[in-house]
Every structure is written in structure tokens, then in C-alpha cells.
Amino acid sequence: MASLKTSGEVYRPHSGRPAGGIRPVGPGAHSAGPSARCAGNSASGIRATRIEKLVLDAAQTDIPACSRPFEALGAGIGVTGADVLKVLKTYKKKGVVRRIGGSFETRKLGFSSTLAGARVKPSRLAAVAKEISKFPGVTHCYERAGEMNLWFTVGVRGTMAGVNRQIAVFRRLPGVEKCYSFPVKTMFKIKTFFPI
């Protein structure tokens, strides 16, 4: 994964910095000039300007609900609305930004969801994963190392009964040896933030 290329730019995971988890990078952490490339100062290690980092970090947190949201976002970090838009467009095009939109609380919209873990015969794994991924309510589907080799999320409108029915359908796919649903009992955190 060390040589991802997008739009001709090579991302270099920075290796000279001591490890220690994702660290939030506040405005104070940026000391280079506005146009300087400061990979060495970056939490993510990707090459981006100081302004790009500020915009991408702020936009991952909250785009305000107002008439001119990009201008408002920029005002908080000392960047013009036009520059905010420029950075977001560039990084969307590069594929670093997947989507700019709403993050909803599934349950409060009247949906139920779960995480499911399955053990699938290795020879059938890809086929089963593809079949499961066809279901629109499956948003994540990963092969993982271990006894349970396929993990996916399932969400449906309505109660857990609908989720369970869907899991039962997946459980009957040829090659599926086990398939368990692990619904949430307590939510402690959901916050994806990747400081650039």
C-alpha cells in the first residue's frame, strides 16, 4: 500500500516520525509558510500544504448549517471560502475525500443495524462476499484474518427482526459455515477523523 498513486501525485507515508497513534494536529502545530509542503510536519504523512491540511481537518469535523458554509468553515481557520472549495474539490478529485455530505444516526432514522461475522469456506469467500455486498443495507464488507473471516454491517429500515431475517438469508449462502450477528449493546464512540 506504500505506493498509492492518484492524479499523478505520489503519497509518501512519512516514516521518520516516531509512532504513537493518530494525533490531532491543531493550527499551532503548523510552522511552515502557507505554501510550503510540510510532509514532515504532517500527522498523516501525505504531502499537503498547510492550508490543505487545515481545510481537510476542519471539513472532517463539521461543515456548518448556514447559507455559506464553506466561508464559515474557512473563517474559523483563517482561509477564504474560495480556498476551502478549491481544496475540497482537489482532494475529492484525487480520491482522498470520498464524500462530502451528512453523517446520520441510523437508529434515530428508524433503522436497525448490526455487525455480522461469518466463517466462510476459503474457496467460496469472494463469491459470498460479493453476494452479500449486493444488498444495499450492507455498507461495509471485509475479509479479516482469523476464525471468522468475513465481517460486514447490515442495516435495514424497521426493527432488528428485519436485520435478523437478512442475516438468515446470508447464513444460507453456499460456503457459509457460521454467521453471527453482534448488535450493539453500548455505543462508546463513533468518530472518524484522520488528521491530515
Please list every residue from 16 through 75 that binds another protein, using CB under 8 A. Answer: 19-24, 42, 44-46, 56, 59-63, 65-71
Query: Pattern of binders to another protein over 171-190, x per CB under 8 A?
Result: ---------x-xxxxxxxxx
Q: Give the residue with the Cβ less far from another protein, 49 or 106.
A: 106
Is 120 a binding residue for another protein by CB under 8 A? The answer is: no
Q: How many CB atoms lie within 10 A of CB 154?
A: 24
Query: Nearest distance from residue 87's CB to another protein, in Å?
Result: 10
Is 104 a binding residue for another protein by CB under 8 A? The answer is: yes
The answer for residues whose C-beta is within 8 angstroms of residue 119's C-beta and 6 or more apart is: 147, 148, 149, 150, 176, 177, 178, 179
Distance CA 196, CA 45 (A): 7
Question: Which of 41, 115, 124, 164 contacts another protein by CB under 8 A?
Answer: 115
User: Nearest CA to 107 among 162, 157, 61?
Assistant: 157
Question: Which of 163, 167, 176, 196 contacts another protein by CB under 8 A?
Answer: 196
Query: Nearest distance from residue 34's CB to another protein, in Å?
Result: 21
# binding residues, another protein (CB under 8 A): 91
Looking at residue 192, its amino acid is T
Query: Nearest distance from residue 35's CB to another protein, in Å?
Result: 20
Q: What residues numbered 145-174 form the site for another protein, per CB under 8 A? A: 145-146, 148, 151-152, 155, 157
Distances (CA, A) of 163 to 89, 96, 196: 37, 32, 36
Cβ contact 151:117 at 8 Å: yes
Q: Give the residue with the Cβ less far from another protein, 34 or 61.
A: 61
Cβ contact 39:14 at 8 Å: yes
The answer for residues whose C-beta is within 8 angstroms of residue 20's C-beta and 6 or more apart is: none
Q: Give the residue with the Cβ less far from another protein, 174 or 183.
A: 183
Query: Nearest distance from residue 174's CB to another protein, in Å?
Result: 17
